[in-house]
């Protein structure tokens, strides 16, 4: 009974924290996104992704650092006390939310596996000493797309090779390699698992930031930026339907407005505007990082008091 109560209390705390913090994130991300415009697109993408998964991280840390220890240390082992309806309702809702996230991730994986298997029929490997395997696929496949979660590769349609110049083709490949290096498909799977209804707009903003970040990673001069812009224009005119496969990274899988913004940004490229203006050293000096470290120090100093307070809160919760 003690172990069952502990599981129910801990899971209730986790779900409550996850939902409350998710609501805070969904209500505040636009302000964070406005601040991220001062950063490079890669830093902006990482910031948005970190903010998106922060409810899970916050809930996990508080549950296992405070809720579980407070229950184990302060809850009497021998107690005959009934459990209220609130923990039961929270557990049911939490289990439904987690189950739905797992089903979404499994469905996305299944769709991606089927689509990739179909595209790979008759595929020919291309040896270019690239950071990820490259395969030449039929014209029915997307123009250019990064696939896979752990073992990633890049699929290139035959029509794409014939349509792009050699420099445009290489720049487009570099864009896909940026998705490979930063494991963007794996991050998409994580977002499928950590489902929350009000996060759609934040996830869309993150997706658009990753595309711009990959654009930036692929170009280092104005000539390369113009080549990539030309490649985007040419490939967007292809009458090949882009796949509705979410665990992939396609060069041209963007909304019309997002694609236009990317092209205009590349046409206006400059070394000063494109530079990584936010280094790791600056991040360590940022108010957010200083605030996190100060909070961690205060938690360590007041750990015993926090355990007592959390236990009192859980006692109120289960009644």
Q: Which is more confidently placed, 255 or 132?
A: 132
Per residue in 260-302, pLDDT (tens digit) is 899 999 998 876 554 445 555 555 556 666 777 888 888 888 8
The DSSP element (H or E) to which 69 belongs, if any, is helix 68-74
CA–CA distance, 286 with 283 (Å, rounded to integer):
5
Please give the pLDDT value at position 274: 47
**One-character DSSP codes across 94-140:** HHHHHHHHHHHHHHHHHHHHHHHHHHTTT-EEE-S--SS-EEEE-TT
| pLDDT single digits (tens) 81-133 | 666 677 788 888 888 888 999 999 999 999 989 888 888 888 888 866 678 89
Please indicate whether residue 32 or residue 174 has the higher confidence score (pLDDT).
174
Position 275 scores a pLDDT of: 45
Closest by alpha carbon to 202, among 12, 25, 24, 11?
25
pLDDT at 240 over 70: no
pLDDT in tens, 260-269: 899 999 998 8
Residue pLDDT, tens place only, 177-198: 999 999 999 999 999 999 898 8
Residue pointed to by tokens 């109120």: 316
In this prediction, residue 72 has a pLDDT band, given cuts at 50, 70 and 90, of: confident
CB atoms inside a 10 Å sphere around CB 57: 13
Q: pLDDT digits over 16-45, tens only?
A: 999 999 999 999 888 877 766 777 888 889
pLDDT at position 309 is 85
Q: What are phi and psi of 149, to 5 degrees?
A: -110, -55
What would the pLDDT profile of 147-166 be if each residue is shown by its tens digit? 999 888 999 988 888 899 99
Residue 316's pLDDT band (cuts 50, 70, 90): confident
pLDDT at 273: 55
d(CA 6, CA 81): 13
**Residue scoring higher pLDDT (277 or 215):** 215
* 48-52, 120-124, 212-216: range with lowest mean pLDDT: 120-124
Q: Order the strands of the 144-147 sheet from edge to edge.
A: 124-126, 134-137, 153-157, 144-147, 249-250
**Window from 47-61, 201-215, 252-266 with minimum mean pLDDT:** 252-266
Cα–Cα distance measured from residue 45 to residue 29, given in angstroms and rounded to the nearest whole number: 12
Q: Is pLDDT of 252 > 60?
A: yes
Mean pLDDT of 242-248: 71
């Amino acid at each position: 009974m003690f172990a069952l109560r502990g599981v129910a209390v801990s899971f209730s705390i986790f779900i409550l924290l996850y939902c409350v913090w998710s609501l805070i994130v969904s209500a505040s991300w636009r302000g964070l996104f406005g601040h991220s415009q001062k950063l490079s697109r890669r830093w902006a993408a990482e910031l948005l992704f970190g903010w998106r998964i922060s409810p899970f991280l916050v809930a996990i840390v508080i549950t296992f650092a405070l809720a579980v220890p407070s229950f184990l240390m302060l809850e009497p082992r021998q107690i005959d006390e009934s459990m209220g309806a609130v923990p039961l309702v929270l557990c049911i809702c939490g289990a439904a939310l987690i189950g739905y996230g797992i089903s979404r991730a499994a469905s996305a994986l299944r769709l991606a596996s089927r689509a990739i298997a179909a595209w790979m029929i008759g595929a020919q490997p291309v040896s270019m000493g690239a950071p990820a395997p490259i395969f030449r696929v039929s014209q029915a496949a997307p123009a250019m797309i990064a696939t896979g979660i752990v073992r990633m590769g890049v699929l290139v349609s035959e029509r794409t090779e014939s349509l792009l110049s050699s420099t445009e083709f290489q720049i487009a490949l570099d864009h896909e390699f940026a998705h490979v290096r930063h494991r963007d498909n794996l991050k998409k799977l994580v977002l499928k698992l950590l489902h929350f209804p009000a996060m759609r707009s934040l996830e869309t903003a993150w997706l658009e930031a990753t595309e711009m970040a990959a654009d930036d990673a692929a170009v280092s001069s104005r000539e390369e930026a113009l080549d990539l812009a030309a490649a985007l224009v040419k490939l967007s005119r292809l009458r090949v339907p882009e796949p509705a496969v979410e665990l992939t990274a396609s060069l041209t899988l963007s909304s019309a407005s997002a694609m236009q913004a990317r092209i205009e940004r590349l046409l206006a490229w400059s070394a000063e505007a494109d530079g990584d203006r936010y280094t790791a050293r600056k991040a360590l000096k940022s108010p957010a990082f200083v605030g996190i470290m100060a909070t961690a120090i205060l938690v360590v100093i007041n750990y015993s008091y926090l355990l007592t307070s959390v236990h009192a809160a859980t006692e109120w919760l289960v009644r």
